[in-house]
Amino acid sequence: MVLPNEIIAVIVSFVLAELAGFIGFVWKANQLYQRDRDSIWEFLSNLKIEIEDRCNTLVVGLQKEVSAREKSQVECKKEVDGEIQRIKHHLELEKEMNKRSIEELKEQLSDLSDKFDKMQESIEVMNRRIDELFKIIQLIKSEDEPKRTRATKQR
């Protein structure tokens, strides 16, 4: 289990503060009660009990914080997994829609290609008819020309 830096910093600062307090108390106790060893041992025992209580309180608080962070990580993982599944489902739907669109576009392209082929055939038929009409007009002109030349000569 890895503790975050903030928690380690809190622990270190708490321990240093307790140590400073402890040193202060010991120094003062040493000055005030230098000759009375029984009262010093009682004082130190009480101080030890108080420090242990505070350390136990801190340990319980840290365990609660670690437990809360682990729960938070599990919840975040669930949320991320849910979001991934939602995005995956959305992409699958888009993929299916794109496949349908591609199929529709292929059908439309095929229809347009067929229409284009029919139009080309129609144009070819029209061109042949125009060529035939042009030939007929040429034929009529060539037949009319001798008649005109005769009519002009007769005048």
Indicate the pLDDT class of residue 94, thresholds 50, 70 and 90. very high
| Average confidence score pLDDT of the chain | 86
Residue boundaries of the structural domains of the chain: 5-154
Phi, psi of 2, deg, nearest 5:
-105, 130
One-letter amino acid at 92 equals: E
The end-to-end CA distance of the chain, in Å, is: 127
Quick one: CA dihedral 97, 100, 106, 112, positive or negative?
negative
Q: Are 29 and 43 in contact (CB under 8 A)?
A: yes
The mean-pLDDT minimum among 99-108, 112-121, 127-136, 144-153 falls in: 144-153
Indicate the pLDDT class of residue 154, thresholds 50, 70 and 90. low
Residue-level pLDDT at 80:
93
